[in-house]
Structures are given as C-alpha cells and as structure tokens.
Structure 1
C-alpha cells in the first residue's frame, strides 16, 4: 500500500511543481482585488456601508439568479438569520444532515431550536429525500398546519439541505416531501456558489439560502457570507435586522427589533467584487482539476473520485475520493498523504457524535456512518487545474 500512495502523491505534486506543500484549498487573487481594496482605504469607507457592499449584493443576485442578496459577516450569520426569517423559534426542531460542517447545527441552536439529524445519500452526499420521507412518516403527525414530532411534541419547523462540496442535493423530491409536511426549506449553500441543479443555481429552491465566502471557498471576502432570497419583504427585513435593526435617522438611535451587527464591511465586499469577476475562471480550473484527478485514480482499484450526478452541475469546491475499506487503511492513507506534504483531510465528524448534540433527535444514519469512514478530501485550489500546472 505504501508504494501505491507514494505513487499517487508524486502524481498529485506534479499538478503544481512549484509548491512543496499542497494545502487543501487556497484563495486565488488574479484580478482587481488590490485596486478595489485600496480604493476603500483611500476613500475611508472601510466599514459596514459603502459602494462595494451594494455592488457585491447586486452582482451576487445577478450571478445566482435570485431577486435579492444580503451580504453579512460570515456564512454562519447568514444561516442564523435565514432560520429566523422563516420563523424558527425556541423549542422548534430543524432537520439537518449529520454529515455537514458544525455551523449548520450551530445556527439552529442560536435560534433556541434543536437540530434533528437525518441521513444523506451516497449519490449526492447531501440529504436523502426518500429516507427523510420514511422518517417523517414514522415519527411525525400533522396538527393543523404544523408537522409535530410524536416523541418530543415539538414542531418540526424547517429543513436545511446542505450541498456538500458543491454537489447539489436532489432538490425536487426533497421539496415535494417538505410541501406535504409543511416544512420550510432553508438551503445551506455555503459550499455551492457556482453549482446548479437542473439548470438553476443552488439557493433558488428554498424560501431563503445562505452562502459563505470564507478564505477557503470558491470566492472569498476574507470572511463573509450572504443571504439569498426571492422574497423582497424577507430581504428587506434581513437587511434591517443584520444592521442592528436601526431606523434611518440623521442622528437618533432608535431600534425597533432585536438586531444583529452582522453586516459585511465595505472593504470585504470590495474583495468580493473582484473575486466574483473571476469566478468563471475559478470554476473552469476546478473542472480541469477534476479531469486530472480522474486520470490519476482510474488506474487504482478501490479508489473512487466522487463526481456530479446527471441533475447537478457542481462547482467541485472540494475534491473527494471514497476508499474501499477492505483495501485501504483510512487513517494510514491520511498519515501517508500528510507525510508527502499533501494536506488531505477526512470529512467532518458526524454531528450527532459531537458532545453538544449527543441528545438530539435523529433518524437512521447508516449512510452517514459509512461515508465518514470512506471520504477523503484532496487539495482543490483552483491553480491546480490551471494552465501553469503540470500533467499527471
């Protein structure tokens, strides 16, 4: 096995011979980033108002096809506000995948609600609508317009499908299930800017959606996120409460709601505007990288590169391989890759196994448990697919 992974490591390093260490995902600054940020500094508008915030929101809405985008300080803040916008209240339950980054569940708890963990599909790595349907048939009943958990008596208010590594959840059957149970869909699109489901950009399928622009995402604002919605009233309310719910006035401080200091600073939005101008190039490089990884792994039995399915056009944010557990020792593979300066990582620990969420409601999570033992993410920086990279 050692020779196999040394050989694989050599081929991965050949993708970019100028890098001794290959991190999981680095940002790329190839456009107007410096010019726009310097413009902010020279104008003095670096805080939470300014022309770049407005421009970033407009361009983001245009790119994703939604009516409105509201820029905020990070993806977790975006998801927190998104859940509040759809009426998630204390003691409610929110259906989330156990196989996701912890922010998905943390945002639920910020609302005083409880995560209710459900399983994912091997075909998409995202929430499985058919297992969700079976689970709801077993554990819930309708009381008026509300879906109620038979065990806890709590209302199941919302569902948060997360588009894992940029691969879209199978949204049509999920929306059908949620419609029958009157459960509101809030998309966690943190990883899926530039991803499409049946020709429509992710973030257009729920009542509201959340994006992330962390330093390791498809585009970055340093730290940042956005709320997407096609509902103008929700958008206006989101913009209001993310700016401390302050009523417009030349000098007086009147706040008419519980607000949050969540707005994205202008200097971060300036970075985002420049990054968004380059997104097509980043996505092009990602797809080239997918082909290069596919070429590397096709000759090694027991290693499968995860690919988009027929209904999805993925941004391939993070490349993922699935290991045959009978052929390869998962922990040893990670250790050997790191020894070869390839900063691979396992998928997240399933959230139901973390101490803060140990007592939360959950469905059968057998696929989640299996995938945790199989998935490894590989270096996925855009430059690895670029013209300056070597051939494997």
Structure 2
C-alpha cells in the first residue's frame, strides 16, 4: 500500500474531492435553536440554565458524582490539580507524549512534570514504568512522597488518554495508593471512552475533559472537571467561580479563585451536542473499523483500542515502519489536500521542559518517530464498505 491508496480511501469515506480536515465539528441537531434561545433570554454569560443542564448531562453520561463546566480544558485540569493540592515546587508524574496543555497546567501552578514512558498498547502512561521510576527515585515517609535527591514533594500522577485510548487505570491507581499520590486523569480527548465499563475521568479523584472545536463534542471552547466526590465538586464549583461567597449584595471572596466559568452560550451548544453524542461515537467506531481493514495487510500498523477498553477513537492513527515512511505519508497526504499530522513534539524536547526530570523513554520516542494521525471526523454519510 502506498500513500495514494490512503488518500483515495479517505476521499471515498468522506465523498469529496475537496480538502479533508483532521477533525471537524458537526452541528446536526438543536445547536442553532439552543444558542438562539440563550440570545433571546439575554443570559449569554456564566449565568443561565444551559450551564447547569450541560453539567448534569455530562455527569449522567459519564457516571461522575459531580461535573463542573469551565472555560476550556486547560482551565479544567489546572483547577483540578489546584484542588488536589498541587502547588509551587511540587513534582507531578506524567507522560511525554501529550498535548502541551497537560504540562502548561502544571507550570501555571509552579509545579514541574516528571516524564515517565508510555505503553505501546494504549499510547498512555505505563504503570510499570511509573512504579519503577518511583522505586529508583522516590521515598515515602511521614512527610509524604518525595524525590530522593532534591526532597521535592511528588504530589500527583496525571495520565493522558491518548487519542481517546484509556490507560491501565487499575494498575495506576494501585501505584498511587502505594506511594500516597493523587490520580488526576487528563481525559481531554476521551469523552465516550470506557475503561473496563467505566467512563474515563471517573476513576481518579478528578478527570478533565475538553470541548475544543476539534473534539468529539464541542462547545466552541470549553472544558469540564469530573469529580469522584460530591464535596470535591462543590469546592471546584466555588474555586472556578472566583471563590465568591453568596451574598445579597456584597462581594465576598474567601480564598484565591479563578474566573473559569463556562458561558451559557457555550453550554447551550454543548447540550445540543450531547443529544447526538452516541450517534457520533458509533460513526467514529465504524470509521475506525474501516481504517483497520484498510491497513490489515500493509506495512502500516493501525492503532486499535486496548482489549480492556472501549475507545471513542477520537483521532485514528497508524504507526509507520520508520521515520522515513512517516515523513513520506505526511508530505504526500498534506500536499494532496488530506490533512494528516504527526504525534505532538515530545514534551521533554520542548525548550521550556528540556531540563525536567525523566526516566528512560524508548517507547514514547519510538512512537513519535513513526506515528501519523488520519482524518477522523465522523462521516455524515458513510460510503459502502
């Protein structure tokens, strides 16, 4: 199979000879009606019925005890880590193969990432590698978990469910329990993904979702914190609404807070998108199945969901034989109007993170050299298989 066969396949899936984006939003339900309703009500900012409705809908769909809407996914992760106790000088274990927002949330808190390798199956944080790094580099005593050489507190573990594929959460939770660490899931890409029947973002203390324009569900911009405990949900809601204490007329704020509220206008869009989420998930899984068939007897290795999970297949991906084949596929598809993308630049290769602590990263570095993301919008009308 050559790159032209991939181009032909994609164009057949989307029934077009025009430019094919990587992941485009779709508005096929009540989006227009609900947004116009917010305009008619004049409640377009952070006060309005759609915000509560959207939070309740996502909480119900995911099985979360509480869900708190935010202005974007980075804000959701930042607020979750703040309430989890991550603060200036802390270390947080995460993966090098992730979008930069994962690390930006840490840097905004004055914390620093520790990069530990990923697994090939999930493309997410490897629990065994986390355990090994802690054994070699950490101690746990009466003061908590600390980095052996510097004494800096190690506060949390943040796995990211890469392209919607869940990591091994049971094993990560066990590592966190042994070492006294808080598990916060970066579930930005995994709305609709299940780990052993449970929705991602609900097994850790917190999970952070993103509703950016390129996600499976979009509010234009937006995010949400999933909380395992009701008390955490109430605290998150308070902190993300500038920590304002209810009063008839006075402005009282009882702790540092953030203006991270999702506008009602965005929440209206989200409510409509939730109504068609299941259909979109089904269409994306059918598309992934067709990609899997296409690459079955080729030099490309299609990335499939782990056997313990049900993935939303947010972005479909293939692993090429080597970097040269990866580059050829990227260059040819993009030159012919089919958008493909490599993996993100690994975080430890970015200038502001090059000095971060890290373990050996052979899997992440090998994947980054070979991975290509393919067009993954759910086709509105699928062509015959």
Q: Normalising to structure 1: TM-score of the pair?
A: 0.96
1:220-265 Cα offsets, whole Å, 9 max, x none, are 0000000001211111111111111111123221111111110000
Contact 1:93-1:116 within 8 A present in 2 as well:
yes
Counterpart of 1:337 (choices 326, 333, 336) is 333
Query: Which deviates more, 232-241 or 100-109?
Result: 232-241
Counterpart of 2:383 (choices 371, 377, 390) is 390
**Partner residue of 2:263?**
265
Q: CA deviation at 1:19?
A: 5.0
Mapping 1:1-392, distance limit 5 Å? 4-144=2-142, 146-300=144-298, 302-325=299-322, 328-383=324-379, 386=380, 388-391=381-384
Distance 1:335 1:391 in 2: 28
Contact 2:204-2:228 within 8 A present in 1 as well:
no
| Change in CA separation of 1:251 and 1:19 when aligned onto 2, cut-off 3 Å | farther
SS at match of 1:14: helix
Contact 2:203-2:228 within 8 A present in 1 as well:
no
SS at match of 1:228: strand
What count of residue pairs does the alignment treat as equivalent? 385
Distance 1:350 1:249 in 2: 47
RMSD (Å) for aligned C-alpha atoms: 1.2
SS at match of 1:372: helix
1:139-192 Cα offsets, whole Å, 9 max, x none, are 111121511111221011000011001100011111111110011100000001
Q: CA deviation at 1:8?
A: 2.0
Distance 1:188 1:74 in 2: 13
Distance 2:15 2:346 in 1: 35
1:5-35 Cα offsets, whole Å, 9 max, x none, are 1122112211112351110000111100000
Distance 1:16 1:110 in 2: 40
SS at match of 1:158: strand
1:252-304 Cα offsets, whole Å, 9 max, x none, are 2111111111000001000000001100000000011011112222232x201
- Structure 1 residue ranges without an equivalent (≥5): none
Contact 1:46-1:265 within 8 A present in 2 as well:
yes
Distance 1:354 1:6 in 2: 33
1:15-61 Cα offsets, whole Å, 9 max, x none, are 11235111000011110000000000011010001000000001110
Distance 2:21 2:105 in 1: 28
Q: Normalising to structure 2: TM-score of the pair?
A: 0.98
Distance 2:228 2:122 in 1: 25
Distance 2:23 2:6 in 1: 19
Contact 2:73-2:209 within 8 A present in 1 as well:
yes
Distance 1:7 1:199 in 2: 36
1:289-323 Cα offsets, whole Å, 9 max, x none, are 011112222232x2011101210100000000011
